[in-house]
């Protein structure tokens, strides 16, 4: 693991998820840019200090020096965004499997480079768009691919959070500590890069359609703030299909309100992340149906993504564990469904989305092809 | 009443609402373009056939011939959209109070003419944006005007229906009967003119802010369809405040899903029409609160807009009755709160919204000032 | 109308409902025990003061003196409980149709007398168990009678309110004004007589089954309080079917939380009064379905009980109006469905329930046949 | 671990929970009564086959032969109910810490024996009433202990499941395989012993009050079925406080619908297991409040029971992990809150509940002191 040391919630989430799915063991890593803190973390976690490295280069050298069967096979990158690319690149080139937090890189160019390198290096690569690990998101994908909705006519996704709101308004002194607001750490976008891209990914994941062009209206909210904290993106797909992504990091009181609705010619599907075990199928000619996990009416992939009996809620860690499990199958060379984990192509799409959104906004809210 | 004869649900809704609020009596009208049907309706309702007129001109002549104390005082116009303007104009000019369905006219020009005539004629004019009659919408308006949200940062409204979807896809033979899809009856817009404008009105009503400019992306969905059935509108208010209206008449399975969320620097409010007795106040620093009618914590206007004890749901008819009640106060010259019924200025705003939306879309999705 | 004068919300509800259904006109009544207040109310409502009577006897004499076609046909009794019986009896014996608030009487004996008199007098009698007027309650009844649930196995109903809680704890000075807490006004039970009996009625209405025996545990909550404010009742039906009614008037913060769940061998149905337009059908082998009014999948009776298009919520007034409409059909001698309004037999059942509950509790929580 | 081998979902849940909390490592056990299957499971999990024992006696001998620092410290018992007691007893007597599934034993006598042995042996004992590990259940306990509700007046808990329904009605051939329906495996009660006892535990956990006496009405539903599958239990606490537990295993379509409502003189709290991250605080004099995890307004214990940022749902595995974490603190001799894990006293209470319920029912639904 790279990053994810003391106090980092995303790193902890990855470790928990890997333990839940039980196909991984945490052997070593570079847990902090400060080597002492990294070692402190390693001690706390009971990790062999010889494998707590000072840098990614040391890690690569150290691990490659070990017999192949003892080596770290897969590395999770859970650093701030700007480090994803260079670390992933080195690891892939040295034939480590990589699990990378999103956004995959800070530019399309980097993303495409990773894609090309992977094509050469033949390792597995997983991008943790965690929400695609939820059973009902997978069920949604399956129902759509089976044609239950008829022809899709409209897609509407939302990602509203409020935690940055309290920072920018009430606790300004803390704002410097929030690396997510700083371009040098996160890249060219905050709201769209950090959360809007999840909505984008969820749309392409569930519908199986590519967004062809978009028109974005972004808002930095305050004058001192350097990046977008809020925005709306109009979407166009093939065949005159339209959609919209709405996203905000300053939606006071919203926690993690990611939602998606896909409207078809025959029926529609709606899902919301804060109540992940409910999937609503609306139709013109019958009562709305509520799909829930652990029921035999679900698809195979959805059912395999939930372990407990019906009515025992699983959550975000289990969603991430499902993605880790798919990646483990890939690493072991087993069969897996393409819906089991997002990969480098999803990463390239995500970076294209972010760049296109920023460009559309900068050019005065005009249509741009992705 | 003009229009609203046999089989017209909106006319029936107005009559029920007027009976609920109990300040009106149905004395006569022109209930159908077909005079025989109009009389059949009058007989059925027990209305004096002498006051069942063949045309609006007959109505005006007939009523003005009566002693003032026996005359119809107020006339409800519940015809298809294209008739609103000319009927309202004649009635106002002849000093009848007018209650008019939305959209008020089919153009801004007509709307402004009505506004100017009203300025001369000193009668009361009510535009039935029914949703502003719900107690929790009124509570929302009051909480915002009290500053509970701090500075507004974002507004997000939605109006999704699905009933036209089944018509355009499955029962094409019926489509000709749907006057709402025909420009000669509804004007220049279907989706935005029929329902999007409600979302617009709800935003301006609850926030007390005017939308300054907008960028619209409309979709006729099928090639044969002449008007928009679906669209998204980006909004700008003063002070860099942004918003969005999303609206569709082809959202399969949606019934009457009008929603609004207003996000402020301190807190946020969310309301949905299908569950009208719940208003959610979200904040950064405390649990979400659910406001419900008939509780002493509500504002005076909200409390007066619900009669039954708490937990006894009132609905859409009572919302419309609240608007009729406000109009009755105005007709009688009593004091009333400006939030009690929408008026001609709201009608002008609505028409400007519709025209601007259509213009923005026609010009290639560009910003237009309202 | 008898009772329901100034400040009486139930009387107002009946008047609104009768106006909504539009088959009634308020011609006269005895609106208050204080004749001056009664006249004040009549003036306010625009009622002919000659038909604002000082007593029920005067009303009967006065109306019978009129030509039959001018007479009041039907009388609504909305007084405190202890007056229902004698007033209903006199009215029926004088051949007025009667609409009576629940509970119908204060004893089974009285209830059975009313039933027997009605058998002789051939007028229509309606008991306003309002909740049976909701479209989704009617849909529930129909689905059960069609056998959708298979064999019923368990019934669970709840009626929780909190408004008395604040009175008994925080505003003791007001308690004397609450006639619902006084045996001389309400009879032998408060919680079960006022609200528990609605849950009872809802069970028998929706399931079509009679409760055979019960075991009740009632609680007066405070030592000074004379009647039950809280209780639980175990139920037995035929064929070893069990059930429970839970009811409280001191459930702090609850508004009008009446719910029912009926569990069958194949599927189950759940409905809650505060969200009356949602009916949930659960089954072992498919997703939960949500029934809503104004959809063609509903039964005829359910559909006729909702006027507006789907997604436009109707509420408690419309539920009561549906009952008034059924009663109007009966008065006019038209066909009607037995589910359209509760009658004297329901009233007898309700009184038996209340008496049996009180007896079971008094005897130490033992089983009693109804 | 004892039990929990191939195909056992509860054993898997315990292993996942222990991995999530990360204070445990699975070293060995007796995973199946069939030694070959046990070894197959051990191989699959990567467990040292030398520590995959044929019996609990072998496990005790084998482990005690190891140096103390290498020994298994704590053993999880996840077998069918009838084995809990003897295994727990042996393990405790040999100074292993024990984590035991509920119900703790099959009789009060056994439960009290365990309690007494623990008093001598000074090891830690945890009973996995998993639902007490949810953050909002813990928040509920804290709010009640702080007096937010005033004096408790009524408690209403429910545990409805439907999975046995489909077995007894539609797939009778499978019924013999369901050990939960057989007295020799589960003891004297199915519905109350398996799920009703969770509702009981949740009541005593959250309110901090003991149930003093109860009156139970149980139902085996079919004639061939040997144990209760459905029932209602009336409850009495100190100070005239009443309550009820409703529970069924044949509630068609219900998944795992455990709920609790506690009504006080000032306010009330409601929680439901299928939406575990929502806690509702109702009061007479203000809007209902919704508490959610990961917010600073929560108590320390509730906050420490949720790791992810607000709006990222954690679920049942994390609830169980929280209990494992509390137990780990106890094993290590660290400070912990008494609410962090249920212990042997909760187990004794649970067994008393089950025995008293069965006795009350057998004696004809009469009050019994617990």
Per-residue model confidence as pLDDT tens digits over C21-69: 999 999 999 999 999 999 999 999 889 999 999 999 999 999 999 999 9
B114 and B146 share one domain: no
Question: What would you measure as the largest C-alpha separation in chain B, in angstroms?
Answer: 65
* Number of structural domains chain C divides into: 2
Same-domain check for residues B189 and B250: yes
| Residue C106, helix vs strand vs coil | coil
What pLDDT score was predicted for residue D330? 97
What pLDDT was estimated at residue D215? 98
Residue C296: list chain A partners with CB under 8 A: 285
Backbone torsions φ then ψ of D180, nearest 5 degrees: -65, -15
Same domain, B196 and B226: yes
Rounded to a whole number, what is the distance in Å from the CA of D130 to chain C's nearest CA? 25
Task: Check whether B134 has a pLDDT greater than 70.
Answer: yes
Q: Look up residue A50 and give its DSSP letter.
A: G
Q: Say which of C154, C253, C266 has its CB closest to residue D230.
A: C154
- Whether A175 shows a pLDDT value over 70: the answer reads no
SS3 string, chain D, reads CECCCCCCHHHHHHHHHHHHHCCCCCCCEECCCCHHHHHHHHHHHCCCHHHECCCHHHHHHHHHCCCHHHCCCEEEECCCHHHHHHHHHHHHHCCCEEEECCCCCCCHHHHHHHHHHHHHHCCCEEECCHHHHCHHHHHHHHHHHCCCCCCEEEEEEEEECCHHHHHHHHCHHHHHHCHHHCHHHHCCCCHHHHHHHHHHHHHHHHHCCCCCEEEEEEECCCCCCCCCCEEEEEEECCCCCEEEEEEECCCCCCCCEEEEEEEECCEEEEEECCCCCCEEEEECCEEEEEECCCCCCCCHHHHHCCCCCCCCCCCHHHHHHHHHHHHHHHHCCCCCCHHHCCCHHHHHHHHHHHHHHHHHHHCCCCCEEC
Q: Which of A143-147, B274-278, C362-366, D25-29 has the lowest mean pLDDT?
A: D25-29
Query: Mean of the pLDDT values across residues B99-123?
Result: 94
Given A19, A22, A274, which is nearest D22 (Cβ)? A19
Does residue A199 lie within any of the structural domains?
A: yes
As a whole number, mean pLDDT of residues B80-92 equals 93
Q: Residues of B with CB below 8 A from C313's CB?
A: 273-276, 313, 315-316
Q: Angle at Cα A17 formed by Cα A2 and Cα A81, nearest 5°?
A: 35
**pLDDT tens-digit map of D52-83:** 999 999 999 999 999 999 999 999 999 988 89
- Asked whether the predicted pLDDT for residue C98 surpasses 70, the reply is yes
Do D223 and D236 lie in a common domain? yes
Structural domain span for residue B104: 2-130
Inter-chain touch D263–C252, beta carbons under 8 Å: yes
Look at residue C314 and tell me if it is in a domain: no
Range list of β-strands (E), B87-229:
97-100, 125-127, 152-160, 213-219
Report if residue C56 sits inside a domain: yes
In a domain, D335, yes or no: no
Q: CB atoms < 10 A from the CB of B116, how many?
A: 11
Tell me the backbone φ, ψ of residue B109, rounded to 5 degrees.
-55, -50
Task: Determine, for residues D250 and C153 on separate chains, whether the beta-carbon distance falls below 8 Å.
Answer: yes
State whether C252 and C280 are in the same domain: yes
Do D149 and C221 make contact, defined as CB atoms within 8 angstroms?
Answer: no
d(CA C123, CA A302): 61
A167 pLDDT band (50/70/90 cuts)? confident
Distance from CA of D121 to the nearest CA of C (A): 44
User: Nearest Cα to C260, choosing from C159, C332, C358?
Assistant: C159
Rounded distance between C-alpha atoms, residue A108 and residue A101, angstroms: 16
For residue A169, the model assigns a pLDDT of 81
- Rounded average pLDDT over D113-128: 95
- Mutation target for B interface from C160, C312, C314, C322: give the one with most B CBs within 10 A: C312
Residue to mutate among C151, C154, C269, with most D CBs inside 10 A, is C154
Question: 3-state SS of chain C: helix, strand, coil percent to 5?
Answer: 45, 20, 35
Residue C178 — very low, low, confident or very high, per pLDDT cuts 50/70/90? low
- How many Å lie between the alpha carbon of B314 and the closest alpha carbon of chain C? 5
- Residue A286: its chain C contacts at CB < 8 A? 289, 297
For A80-121, how does the pLDDT look when each residue is reduced to its tens digit (9 = 90+)? Answer: 888 999 999 999 999 999 999 998 998 999 999 999 999 999
Neighbours of chain B (3+ CB pairs under 8 A): A, C, D
Yes or no, beta carbons of C287 and A285 under 8 Å apart? no
A121 min Cα distance to partner chain D (Å): 30
D254 and D365 together in one domain:
yes
pLDDT at A43 over 90: yes
Contacts 24+ apart (CB under 8 A), A35-41: A37/A5, A37/A6, A38/A5, A40/A6, A41/A5, A41/A6
CB contact under 8 A, C246 and D169: no
Q: Does C263 fall in a domain?
A: yes
Comparison of pLDDT for C223 and A245, the residue scoring more:
A245
Please give the Cα distance from B66 to A202 (Å, whole number): 67
- Give the CA distances from residue B22 to residues A17, B324, B326, C19, C32, in Å, rounded to whole numbers and listed in that order: 63, 9, 12, 8, 20
Share of chain A above pLDDT 70, in %: 97
Span D215-260, pLDDT tens digits:
999 999 998 889 999 999 999 999 999 999 999 999 999 999 999 9
pLDDT at position B356: 98
Q: Report whether B232 contacts B261 (CB < 8 A).
A: no
> At A178, is the pLDDT very low, low, confident or very high (cuts 50, 70, 90)?
low
Q: Is B156 contained in some domain? A: yes
- What integer best gives the mean pLDDT of chain D? 94
**Does the pLDDT at position B206 exceed 60?**
yes
Query: C242-248 and C152-160 as β-strands: parallel, antiparallel, unpaired?
Result: parallel
Residue found under tokens 């298994």: D72
pLDDT over 90 at B181, yes or no: no
- Report yes or no: B216 and B360 within 8 Å, Cβ to Cβ: yes
Reported confidence tier of residue C171, pLDDT bands at 50, 70, 90: low
Same domain, D139 and D99: no
For D359, left (φ over 0), alpha (ψ -120 to 50), or beta? Answer: alpha
Residues of chain D found within 8 Å of residue B288, distances taken between Cβ atoms:
289-290, 292
| Res C177: pLDDT | 52
B293 CB neighbours in chain D (<8 A) are none
* Residue C70 preceded by cis peptide, ω within 30: no
The CA distance from D33 to D20, in Å, is 27
Average pLDDT for chain A: 94
Give the DSSP H/E element, type plus range, for residue A92: helix A84-93
Q: Which among A147, A214, A252 is the top mutation candidate for probing chain B, defined by the most B β-carbons within 10 Å of its own β-carbon?
A: A252
Chain D nearest CA to C312, separation (Å): 25
Name the residue with tokens 């010619």: A265
Nearest neighbour of C232 by CB, restricted to D163, D244, D283: D244
D163 & D68 share domain? no
Confidence bin at B184 (pLDDT 50/70/90): confident
Tokens for B211? 């939308």
Angle (deg, nearest 10), helices D197-207 and D135-145: 50
Q: Is A129 helix (H, G, I), strand (E, B) or coil?
A: coil
Which CATH number is C51's domain given?
Answer: 3.40.50.720
Cα separation, A229 vs A17, in Å, equals 29
CB-nearest to B13 from C274, C308, C313 is: C308
Mutate to test the interface with D, among C143, C149, C196, C252 (most CBs of D within 10 A): C252
CA angle centred on C7, ends C1 and C10, rounded to 5°: 50
Shortest Cα distance, chain C CAs vs residue A143, angstroms? 13
Chain B CB contacts of C16 under 8 Å are 20, 22, 307
Query: Is the pLDDT assigned to residue B153 strictly greater than 80?
Result: yes
Cβ–Cβ below 8 Å for A240 and B254: no
Question: CA–CA distance from B304 to each of B295, B308, C14, D161 (Å)?
Answer: 11, 10, 19, 43
Look up the ipTM and state it: 0.95
Candidate from A150, A169, A265 with C-beta closest to B265: A169
Query: What is chain C's Cα-based Rg?
Result: 21
The whole-number average pLDDT for the span D27-43 is 93
Q: Report strand pairing: A125-127 vs A97-100.
A: parallel
Residue keyed to tokens 């649990």? B287
Question: What does the pLDDT read at residue C8?
Answer: 81
Q: Tell me how close the Cα of B236 comes to any Cα of chain C, in angstroms.
A: 30
Q: At what angle do helices A197-207 and A344-362 cross, to 10 degrees?
A: 130
Q: For residue B22, which residues of chain C lie inside 8 Å, CB to CB?
A: 15-16, 19
**Contacts across the A-D interface (CB distance below 8 Å):** 100
Long-range pairs of C22-25 with CB within 8 A, sequence gap ≥ 24: C22/B15, C22/B16, C22/B19, C23/C324, C23/C325, C23/C328, C24/C74, C24/C324, C24/C328
Alpha-carbon dihedral of residues B207, B212, B213, B216, nearest 10 degrees? 30
Q: Are residues C286 and C349 in the same domain?
A: yes
Q: How far apart are CA C348 and CA C354, in angstroms?
A: 10
**What's the pLDDT tens digit per position in B260-311?**
999 999 999 999 999 999 999 999 889 999 999 999 999 999 999 999 999 9
Of C80, C103, C130, the position where a domain reaches its end is C130
> Where does chain C have alpha helices with state H?
9-21, 35-45, 56-64, 84-93, 108-121, 135-145, 163-170, 183-186, 191, 197-207, 300-304, 316-331, 344-362
Kindly determine whether residue D9 and residue A257, on different chains, have CB atoms separated by under 8 Å: no
Residues B177 and B59 in one domain: no
Chain C closest-CA separation from residue B319 CA (Å): 10
pLDDT band at A362 (very low <50, low <70, confident <90, very high): very high
Q: Which of B78, B26, B81 is nearest to B52 (CA)?
A: B26
Q: Please list every residue in chain D whose beta carbon sits closer than 8 Å to the beta carbon of residue C265.
A: 165, 169, 250, 252
**Confidence bin at B9 (pLDDT 50/70/90):** confident
Which spans in B171-315 are helix H? 183-186, 191, 197-207, 300-304
In B, minimum Cα distance to D291 occurs at B287
User: Is C320 contained in some domain?
Assistant: no
Dihedral sign for Cα atoms in the order C352, C354, C355, C358:
positive
The CATH number that applies at residue A139 is: 3.30.360.10
Average pLDDT for residues D276-303, to the nearest whole number? 96
Q: Where does a domain end: B74, B103, B130?
A: B130
How confident is the model at residue D178, as a pLDDT? Answer: 65
Q: Mark whether B70 and B155 lie in a shared domain.
A: no
Q: Which residues contact B67 (CB under 8 A, 6 or more apart)?
A: none
- pLDDT higher than 60, residue A274: yes
Q: A311: which chain C residues are within 8 Å (Cβ-Cβ)?
A: none
Smallest Cα–Cα separation from B73: which of B116, B105, B26, B117? B26
Chain D residue with minimal CA distance to B292?
A: D287
* % of chain C exceeding 70 in pLDDT: 97
> pLDDT above 70 covers what percent of chain B?
97
**Confidence class for position C311, pLDDT limits 50, 70, 90:** very high
Looking at the complex, report in whole angstroms how far the Cα of residue B278 sits from the nearest Cα belonging to chain D: 10
Q: Which residues of chain D lie closer than 8 angstroms to B287, CB-CB?
A: 281, 289-292, 295, 297
Contacts of C9 in chain B (CB under 8 A): 307-309
For residue A170, the model assigns a pLDDT of 65
CA end-to-end span of chain A? 32
Q: What's the first-to-final CA gap in chain D, in angstroms?
A: 32
pLDDT at B296: 94
- Mean pLDDT lowest among B84-88, B143-147, D86-90, D167-171: D167-171
Degrees to nearest 5, angle at CA C258 with C253 and C262: 140
Residue A192 · residue A198 · CB < 8 Å: no
Q: CB neighbours (10 Å) of residue C359?
A: 14
Chains near C with 3+ CB pairs less than 8 A apart are: A, B, D
Region of residue C133 (left: phi > 0; alpha: psi -120 to 50; beta: else): alpha
> What is the chain D residue with the closest CA to B297?
D286
How far off is chain D from B302, nearest CA to CA, in Å? 14
Measure D239 CA to nearest chain C CA, in Å: 10
Residue B167 has pLDDT above 90, yes or no: no
Rounded mean pLDDT of chain B? Answer: 94
Question: Any bridge partners for residue C262, and if so which?
Answer: C155, C269
Of D16, D275, D312, the CB nearest to A275: D275
C6 and C115 share a domain? yes
3-class secondary-structure state, position A343: coil
Contact status, residue B199 vs residue B216, Cβ threshold 8 Å: no
Residue D163 lies in a domain: yes
For D146, residues 6+ apart whose C-beta sits below 8 A from its C-beta are none
Q: Chains B and D: how many Cβ contacts under 8 Å?
A: 32
Domain limit, last residue, from C130, C161, C189: C130
Q: In the block, which residue shows the tokens 């603190």? A: D329
pLDDT at position D8, please?
81
| Cβ within 8 Å of residue D24, ≥6 positions away | D18, D74, D324, D328
Kindly list the residues from chain A whose CB atom is less than 8 angstroms away from the CB atom of residue D275: 275, 313
């Amino acid at each position: 693991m790279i990053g994810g040391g003391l106090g980092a919630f995303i790193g902890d989430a990855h470790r928990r998820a890997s333990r839940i799915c039980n196909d991984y063991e945490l052997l070593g890593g570079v847990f902090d840019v400060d080597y002492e803190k990294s070692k402190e973390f390693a001690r706390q976690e009971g990790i062999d200090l010889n494998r707590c490295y000072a840098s990614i280069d040391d890690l690569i050298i150290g691990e490659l020096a070990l017999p192949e069967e003892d080596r770290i096979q897969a590395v999770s990158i859970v650093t701030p965004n700007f480090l994803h690319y260079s670390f992933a690149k080195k690891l892939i080139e040295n034939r480590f499997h990589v699990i990378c937090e999103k956004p995959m890189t800070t530019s399309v160019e980097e993303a495409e480079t990773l894609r090309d390198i992977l094509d050469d290096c033949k390792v597995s690569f997983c991008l943790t768009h965690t929400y695609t690990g939820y059973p009902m998101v997978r069920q949604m994908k399956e129902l759509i691919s089976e044609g239950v909705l008829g022809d899709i006519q409209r897609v509407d996704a939302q990602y509203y959070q409020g935690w940055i709101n309290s920072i920018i308004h009430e606790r300004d002194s803390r704002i410097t500590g929030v690396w997510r607001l700083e371009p040098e750490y996160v890249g060219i976008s905050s709201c769209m890069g950090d959360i809007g891209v999840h909505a984008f990914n969820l749309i392409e994941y569930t519908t199986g359609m590519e967004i062809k062009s978009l028109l974005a209206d972004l808002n930095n909210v305050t004058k001192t703030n350097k990046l977008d904290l809020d925005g709306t993106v109009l979407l166009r797909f093939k065949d005159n299909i339209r959609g919209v992504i709405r996203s905000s990091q300053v939606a006071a009181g919203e926690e993690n309100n990611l939602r998606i609705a896909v409207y078809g010619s025959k029926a529609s599907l709606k899902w919301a992340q804060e109540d992940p075990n409910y999937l609503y199928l609306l139709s013109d000619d019958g009562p709305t149906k509520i799909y829930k996990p652990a029921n035999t009416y679900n698809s195979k992939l959805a059912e395999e993504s939930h372990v407990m009996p019906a009515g025992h809620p699983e959550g975000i860690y289990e969603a991430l564990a499902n993605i880790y499990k798919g990646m483990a199958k890939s690493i072991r060379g087993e069969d897996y469904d393409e819906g089991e984990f997002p990969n480098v192509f999803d990463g390239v799409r995500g970076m294209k989305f972010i760049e296109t959104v920023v460009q559309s906004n900068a050019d005065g809210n005009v249509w741009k092809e992705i």
